[in-house]
Amino acid sequence: MDTSSVIIGLFLFGLFFFPIIYALIRQHAIEKKKNNLLFKYAGDNKLTLTETESIGHLNLGLDTQAKKLIILENKEKPEFEIIDLHQVGKVQVSKQLFPGKTKNKKEKIMHLRLELENKIDSKVTAITFYDEDDADSTDAEIRLHEAKKWDELLHKNLAS
């Protein structure tokens, strides 16, 4: 192999490889920044997060000792919400499906959320995991798996 072929090969490799590396590093930095924001907010409210997850537009943190859930929605201005699991009576995954049948007989999810119902006033707090109209949403099946994971985690931590 001559030197010019190696140089051209390395140039083409770099041309296609480095943008992918850059995107991965940038995405990791964004997720780390959101996670740090979540931990800072938890510390400000005297909570110690034992479970956290970054789900696109949404960051969740759970303090299993204090039985509190922190929700961080990443919009133009981050919005935090703390939910006291002592006051939650019911947790369930709610999904809205497209009407009609699909070609492969698999349900097509249009909207997916986790609903937490307050014991006292029956107020429902919804945590949206997937919305078909949202450009940031990825595969609905992945989000369904994440919603079921948090449903199970919250059920384990509901205070009696």
What ranges do the domains of the chain cover? 3-157
Token output for 102: 């699909």
Tell me: pLDDT of 25 over 90.
yes
Reported as a single tens digit per residue, the pLDDT across 82-121 is 999 888 888 899 888 877 655 666 677 888 889 999 888 8
pTM of the full predicted structure?
0.77
Band the pLDDT of 61: cuts 50, 70, 90.
very high
Token output for 70: 């922190």
E strands of 38-122, at which residues?
51-55, 58-63, 68-73, 79-84, 88-97, 109-118
